[in-house]
Chains A and B, each alone.
Chain A
Amino acid sequence: MPRTPFLPHLGARVMPVLLVVLAAVIFVLDTITNFEIAVAVLYVAIVLIAVQHLGRRRVVMVAAGCMALTVLSFALTRTGSVTSGLINCAISLVAIGVTTYLALRAAAAEAAAREAQTQLAHITRVTMLGELMASIAHELNQPLTAIVLNGNATLRWLAARPANPDEAGKAAQRIVRDAERATDLIKRLRGLTRRAANKAIWLDVNQVVADTLTLVQHEAVRNNIALRTELDDDLPLLQADPVQIQQVVLNLALNAFEAVVGGKERDVTLTTGPGKPGEIIVAVSDSGRGLDSVQPDRIFDAFYTTKPEGLGMGLAISRSIVESHGGRIWAEPAMPRGASFFFSLPTGRTKARGSGQ
């Protein structure tokens, strides 16, 4: 299960205060109770909370502080048997130490797993695309080749002396037939995307955004990007394919990352909110290089890219997904700098949600 809070700013400010208050309470309890009661074991809770929110070094510092407090309250406690006090003190110290060690290891493993997942998401996206493109290219190539050859043949039969209208006619008929074959192929592709969109379920768009964040959180941290969310809690559910919507958010988020990396201000904000009546809007805004150097009417085209290693398919696929869900996708310059990408999704026949209507 992913850990819940995506509020690093709130967390960074409130968490130390919370930990200090908790530590003070445990310290006081530990000191005023007699030696037989091992209140100090509760410091384990502080370590566990700290692991969720702080870096490795800080966690070790917190654990060391807890150990120091344990020893201090042993020195200050006046009531009870000193022997059991010593034993309890030792047990508490060991408990804090072991917990810290295990919790840090678990956190490291989880981080590694998450990174692997992000990479996997990248790779799957790229290889799936690559394979899809290759097989479509091959399938379309056959009728196209036949059309070109038949066209050449038609011209040659007509230019022959004497002309051969019979053969020319047959070749022209084949052109029509092969063009229909290509058209059928494209129709089938459309059907494929439509069918995929049929895997729609009732979903909470905030949940999709949160799921995507788990995938990219690590990438953001590694690139020093301040990733923020402004999620509207009062949005109705909507019917959509969660995997596809997640792919759109992922594409927009990765583009935003790529736009801010290299700059000084590295802010990326994911916002959800209501749009026109019956519509939800998801926005991904960044403080990156903006849209000045791109052709805004072309960025959603397949293979349009300004990146040396770019594929130029992210936005094209996003658009086809959003449109197959009955929504729209567009980009605007952000203030004071950067770009914002928006997409809307219709809520259609909305279902009342929890406390709401």
Chain B
Amino acid sequence: MSGLASSDSGQIVFVIDDDPAILEALDSLLRSVGLDVSCFGSVAAFLDAPRPDIPSCLVLDVRLPGKSGMDFQKELAGSQAPLPVIIMTGHGDIAMSVQAMKAGAIDFLPKPFREQDLLDAIAAALDKDRSRRAHMAELDALRARLATLSDGERDVVAQVVLGRLNKQIAGDLGVSEITVKVRRARAMRKMQAGSLPELVKMIDRLAAESSARGH
């Protein structure tokens, strides 16, 4: 069997194909293994529909009227919330599959494909989206905790992360060493960091994330 959690409505598979026969068949097959499915005949229809904020992936036909599947995949890959994509094609040529994989497709399935290949790809895609979401949620939590720090605590944390000693920090900020220690301990408690290295790692992750967004 597919290894997918059955009737777990906490996730959804989107399908875009211009052939209604394929849509109906995929809809039935995916529901039969307990997945929630939502089908669209075009990229435009997909974009018009509201999307629930749960782990999801997209099964996309290459040859579509209007915007081509390939172009849409590239667009998605470059967006804020990249949706994992599985590409289906009616004429699986190698050049196109290489292009799709380079643009980050989970898998490239030439029609007609084996159902197990599709289900495996969907499982991998949903896993990927779930861990991306978990990662994002973690970052959000960190950001929320960071927001609870007082200005003084934040200043101390900024210096600690740079690897400076309490004495140096005290001198720089014009406060006593005791105050530095107290603020540091309070900051670690608010950030829920068990150790100094852990705190450093948290701040690094937040910094990496914000610089990635800056682009």
Interface, chain A (partner B; CB < 8 A): 134, 137-138, 141-150, 152-153, 156-157, 160, 164, 167, 170-171, 174, 177-178, 181
Contacts and interface: CB of A to CB of B under 8 A. Distances in A.
B115 interface: yes
Interface in B25-62: 25-26, 28-29, 31-33
Contacts of A142: 19, 21-22, 90, 111
A178 to B, nearest CB: 5
Contact of B90 (A138, A147, A160, A164): A138
A159 to B, nearest CB: 9
B111 A174 contact: no
Most buried by B among A142, A149, A157: A149
B36 to A, nearest CB: 15
Contacts of A181: 21
A141 B25 contact: no
A145 B111 contact: yes
Contacts of A146: 19, 21-22, 24-25
Contacts of A147: 25, 112
Given A149-B29, A149-B115, A157-B32, A141 B21 contact: no
Nearest to A142: B19
Given A138-B91, A171-B28, A178-B25, 14 more contacts: A137-B91, A145-B25, A145-B111, A146-B19, A146-B21, A147-B25, A147-B112, A150-B29, A153-B28, A153-B32, A156-B33, A167-B32, A170-B28, A171-B25
A171 B113 CA distance: 18
A170 B27 CA distance: 12
Contacts of A144: 111-112
A156 B21 CA distance: 18
B6 to A, nearest CB: 9
Contacts of B21: 142-143, 146, 174, 177-178, 181
Contacts of A138: 90-91
Contacts of B112: 141, 144-145, 147-149
A258 to B, nearest CB: 28
Contacts of B91: 134, 137-138, 141
Contacts of A153: 25, 28-29, 32
Contacts of B33: 156
Most buried by A among B21, B31, B33: B21
Contacts of B29: 149-150, 152-153, 156
A119 B124 CA distance: 50
Contacts of B25: 145-147, 149-150, 153, 171, 174, 178
Contacts of A157: 28, 32
A349 B37 CA distance: 63
A152 B115 contact: yes
A174 B19 contact: no
B24 A141 contact: no
A144 B91 CA distance: 13
Nearest to B33: A156
A160 B25 CA distance: 17
Contacts of A170: 28
Contacts of A143: 21
A174 B90 CA distance: 20
